[in-house]
Amino acid sequence: MSEPLIPISKKVSSQNSTSVIKLPCYVAGKAIESEKVLEVRSPYDNRLVGTVTLANAAHAEEAIETALKGGQKLSRYERYVILEKTRQLLTERKEEFAQVISAESGLAIREARYETGRAHDVLMFAAIEALKDDGQIFSCDISPSGKARKIFTLREPLSLAVCITPFNHPLNQVIHKIAPAIAVGTPVILKPSEKTPLTAVKLVELLYEAGLPHYMLSVLLGPTREIAESLVKDSRVEIVSFTGSVAVGKHIAATAGYKKVILELGGNDPLIVMEDADLDKAVFLAAEGAFRNSGQRCTAVKRILVHEKIKDAFVEKFVAKAKEYTSGDPADDNTKVGTVIDEAAAIYLETVVKKSVEQGAKVLLDGKRKGALLGPTVIVDVPRNAEMVVQESFGPLAPILTFKDIDDAIALSNSTAYGLSSGIVTNNMEYALRFVKELKVGTVNINEVPGYRIESSPFGGIKDSGLGVKEGVIEAMKCFTYVKTFSMPW
């Protein structure tokens, strides 16, 4: 039986003569037809960027049944070829993808281009790992009660995964879940963010084009109760991989039932600048960590913790550096900081800054909100109980707090409900080792931003940042499989 044809993404002209992308959702490669569509508008100027045809409960059921019915089973080499072909296609169309990312999310085009490079790496590593076998062999004659046998392990794919992704990094967040699943042969139903769905659907089309059997992947958007909640609760789904807010993640954990649940729930990551730090390096890392991607990263620098002895010198250099991160039209190559995801998010950020000022903080650089556009904002003397540092502030805010010594720095860093990552700026090995041992986070980066990693390395947090289960290509491949053992006489 031949697989359904995949329609090419359509573009039509809107009233203001800009290109509008029209996309469907897909059930195992079959385009959904419906009069209900989701409009996707630019956070920068509210223009219509594209539309996506919405799915319903019947489509969710069909996606589950089709995935479980299955089809052609892919060898390791065939999975490698599909992922490698997708990587090649993405490389050829990286500018097209970057433009869509920037248009629907408001990210600066330079950040969108960077994201396509990260997605390239995910596909490359997943393809490489698809060729590897991490099976183990255990000899059984190693104890007085043993015998002449050997036990072998192998990995089997799970029958079905549901992957739910957020609006930030609309390409890389999606490929970080889909590529490892494909690498091990686990079918996926993808539910991307309604705020940035165009990139996700285009990526699904790219995977179909690369030869992925259609039963292996569906992409659905629609009413929460009919799509997301029904998929999460369905007992036929063996794993839910979710990246998003703490509230939604904990709701998924409470309602998913007897299945694997992988949660990446954001962070409140500190950059800790010790008194011996290279100030120029510290300032650069603080600015990159706080302002890149409009501050909308779970691993962005959300708190800058500076030793009180060097506060004044650091602040002077940092404010000057922050002014270099120009905000404006995301499509402009010279723009470094685009919008946050929508005006409501920008208003919230503006509000928490005002609240901190009421508590005694001082704004040294005002981002001056205009709609969803909020430029880099530097705040000093921020109280330790201010909302903007206790909760995750998802935007280009740079609150600066001081500490008196390493004990105080560790206590301050550990004082929030989050535990994703951290960055330390120091040349003192004793300091570095203490931070590695005592910070309650999933990652400690010395002389680097909290978010640094490669796409194949383990990544994840503890506390309200997650359950301690890591992602990253290699760890995610383990999550999308189970280990089978067998033994034989030897």
With beta carbons less than 8 A apart as the criterion, state whether 362 and 350 touch: no
Handedness of CA 179, 182, 184, 189 (dihedral sign): positive
Residue 298 annotated among the catalytic residues of the structure: yes
With beta carbons less than 8 A apart as the criterion, state whether 361 and 323 touch: no
Helix (H) or strand (E) holding 370: none
Query: pLDDT-derived band of residue 9, with 50, 70 and 90 as boundaries?
Result: low
Give tens-digit pLDDT for 135-153.
999 999 999 999 999 999 9
Query: pLDDT-derived band of residue 4, with 50, 70 and 90 as boundaries?
Result: very low
Q: Provide mean pLDDT across the span 110-117.
A: 97
pLDDT at 7 over 60: no
Query: pLDDT-derived band of residue 330, with 50, 70 and 90 as boundaries?
Result: very high
Give tens-digit pLDDT for 213-253.
999 999 999 999 999 999 999 999 999 999 999 999 999 99
Q: Could you tell me which residues come within 8 angstroms of residue 32 by beta carbon, excluding any fewer than 6 positions away?
A: 24, 25, 26, 53, 54, 55, 59
Residue 163 annotated among the catalytic residues of the structure: no
pLDDT at 28 over 80: yes
Q: Which residues, listed in sequence order, are joined to residue 156 by a DSSP beta bridge?
A: 482
Query: pLDDT-derived band of residue 12, with 50, 70 and 90 as boundaries?
Result: very low
Give tens-digit pLDDT for 354-395.
999 999 999 999 999 999 999 999 999 999 999 999 999 999
3-state secondary structure of 271: strand
Q: Provide mean pLDDT across the span 95-109.
A: 98
With beta carbons less than 8 A apart as the criterion, state whether 466 and 440 touch: no
With beta carbons less than 8 A apart as the criterion, state whether 209 and 182 touch: no
With beta carbons less than 8 A apart as the criterion, state whether 352 and 303 touch: no
Q: Which residues, listed in sequence order, are joined to residue 52 by a DSSP beta bridge?
A: 23, 38
**Distance set, CA 426 to CA 302, 308, 322, 441, 448 (Å):** 19, 15, 21, 18, 10
Which residue among the candidates 298, 448, 455, 471 is catalytic per the annotation? 298
Q: Provide mean pLDDT across the span 77-105.
A: 98
How many Å apart are CA 277 and CA 288, to the nearest integer? 17
- On average, the pLDDT of the chain sits at 95
DSSP 8-state secondary structure symbol assigned to residue 54:
P
Q: How many CB atoms lie within 10 A of CB 328?
A: 17
Which residue among the candidates 264, 392, 448, 455 is catalytic per the annotation? 264
pLDDT at 11 over 70: no
3-state secondary structure of 418: strand
